[in-house]
Amino acid sequence: MSAATHAAPAAALSEGPGRHLLHWPRTLFARLALILCIGLALAQTLSVWLTLTERDATTANMMMDYVEREVASSVALLDNLPPAERAAWLPKLARRSYMFVLGEGVQGVAPDAQLSMRYESAISKGIGKHYAMTANAIPGNGEHFQVHLRLSDGTPLTIDVRPQRALPLSRWLPLVLGVQLIVLAVCCWLAVRVATQPLNALAKAADTLGPDLKTEHLDENGPSEVARAARAFNAMQARISGYMAERMQILAAISHDLQTPITRMRLRVDVMDDDAQATRLRQDLQEMEQLVKEGVAYARTLHGVAEVPVRLDLDSMLDSIVCDYIDAGSDVSYDTRAPLAVVTRAQALKRIVGNFVDNSLKFAGAAEIALVEGPGDAQVTISVMDRGPGIPEESLEKVFEPFYRLETSRNRGTGGTGLGLAIARQLAVAMGAQLSLHNRSGGGLEARLVLKRA
């Protein structure tokens, strides 16, 4: 079985008929991992975004305070210097976002960009109380404006400002964020895997719980919830096994007790003078005896098959079955041959194949056996085919139910107890094989048994 548990059918968001925009994962592992990864990734991304936003705001406030102080001190210095020395100090007072120019500058409209307005407000706080100043935006790429004022001696001074954003984002920061998201994804995967592994083990144990009810017990260690589920499963398995064993004992006792009265009745029939009545009674007793045997056989297949699997050459086994039928005068052919070997239960396989060959001979007069490899190298298919009346499509699965009969095509007049196909299906389940019936094109029926190579 796959690691996937039996989850609910996938839900899908759709837009119009047949158009699926989003498919919800089918497995619990994928759903939990997806939810946790997306949730933690969004939380981490939001946290980084809030941190960067707060850092930008703090840096911007610090920058405005710096501009306010530096511009005020620089203007005061220039105002106190002799006019002849001012030009030499201009490069020393220039900063990354602004510089000083002795002159009128360029006139224009007032700045309206948000960052420019913040710079203007900071400069105004620093020198606006001491100097009459005006500001105007400079056309061009990016934010650019100038502040105009006059020093104490009437010399025009222009502050050419190119507003700078807060500190740029470090190149390594996106890489760190990516590494963090990868670490979160790996941790989510590990956490969900650890959490769902007991469910996967439980699903495997349930799938391997065959008719023999002899699968290995689940480990009852681990978290309390997991240990409790394992104990409940092991107890359920033990109870079911006990119920099946009890039923087998009851059926075996009934079968044994019925043999004695049936034998006595047959002896009394043998000494009856009325031959016609004796013949009818003898036939009824044979049917009763056959029904008891078939019922016990079916109960045994439900309880499991004690036969040990062996490595088997399918080609040789099918050839020997066909030869036995041909020796008995039956029309059975085996043309599609392949040298394939499997590990399976030989007697159970012979009984399944023989059951379908007998049915084909009974209802069609002839049977064909085919051995085909695939699909895939892990499987091999045995087909028993005939050209009989076939089975209605709606009854192809119902015929495997105990005592189910088809009155139209395979009625009681042909004999049998209605347990043959049920026994064959149970034997196939015990072998880990798949058994199905298919109507053939042109008429007839095909019984298909798919075996695992390993």
CATH number at residue 270: 1.10.287
Q: Are residues 359 and 444 in the same domain?
A: yes
Average pLDDT over residues 213-228: 73
Cα(338)–Cα(334) distance, rounded to whole angstroms? 11
pLDDT at 357: 92
Residue 128 belongs to domain spanning: 56-161
Q: Are residues 409 and 425 in the same domain?
A: yes
For 281, counting Cβ atoms within 10 Å of its Cβ (0-12 exposed, 13-18 middle, 19+ buried), the class is middle
CATH number at residue 398: 3.30.565.10
Q: Are residues 83 and 136 in the same domain?
A: yes
Q: Are residues 314 and 436 in the same domain?
A: yes
Domain count, the chain: 3
Cβ contact 116:98 at 8 Å: no
Considering the chain, what percentage of its residues have pLDDT values greater than 70? 85
Cβ contact 324:349 at 8 Å: no
Identify the weakest region by mean pLDDT among 159-163, 173-177, 221-225, 354-358: 221-225
Cα(375)–Cα(385) distance, rounded to whole angstroms? 19
Instruction: Tell me if 183 is assigned to some domain.
Output: no
Identify the weakest region by mean pLDDT among 110-114, 128-132, 311-315: 110-114
Q: Are residues 401 and 278 in the same domain?
A: no
CATH number at residue 70: 3.30.450.300
Task: Single out the residue in 271, 303, 335 at which a domain terminates.
Answer: 303
User: Among 254, 263, 296, which Cα is nearest to 417's?
Assistant: 296
pLDDT by residue (tens digit) across 339-381?
788 888 888 888 899 989 998 998 889 999 998 887 667 788 8
Task: Single out the residue in 286, 303, 320 at which a domain terminates.
Answer: 303
pLDDT at 304 over 70: no
pLDDT at 250: 77
Q: Are residues 296 and 317 in the same domain?
A: no
Tokens in use for 339? 């040298």
Task: Read off the pLDDT band of 303 (50, 70, 90).
Answer: low
Q: Are residues 322 and 291 in the same domain?
A: no
Instruction: Tell me if 273 is assigned to some domain.
Output: yes
pLDDT by residue (tens digit) across 119-150?
888 888 888 888 888 889 888 788 889 899 99
Task: Single out the residue in 276, 303, 330 at which a domain terminates.
Answer: 303
pLDDT by residue (tens digit) across 237-265?
888 877 777 777 777 777 777 778 888 88
The answer to pTM > 0.75 is no
Burial annotation 379-394 (CB, 10 A radius, 16+ → b, else e): bbbbbbbbbbbbbeee
Cα(65)–Cα(67) distance, rounded to whole angstroms? 6
Q: Are residues 296 and 315 in the same domain?
A: no
Instruction: Tell me if 3 is assigned to some domain.
Output: no
Instruction: Tell me if 244 is assigned to some domain.
Output: yes
pLDDT at 16 over 50: no
Considering the chain, what percentage of its residues have pLDDT values greater than 90? 13
pLDDT at 48 over 90: no
Q: Are residues 271 and 291 in the same domain?
A: yes
Q: Are residues 257 and 336 in the same domain?
A: no
Q: Are residues 327 and 282 in the same domain?
A: no
Q: Are residues 298 and 390 in the same domain?
A: no
Instruction: Tell me if 50 is assigned to some domain.
Output: no
Instruction: Tell me if 250 is assigned to some domain.
Output: yes
Cα(138)–Cα(159) distance, rounded to whole angstroms? 12
Instruction: Tell me if 166 is assigned to some domain.
Output: no
Instruction: Tell me if 120 is assigned to some domain.
Output: yes
Cα(288)–Cα(296) distance, rounded to whole angstroms? 12
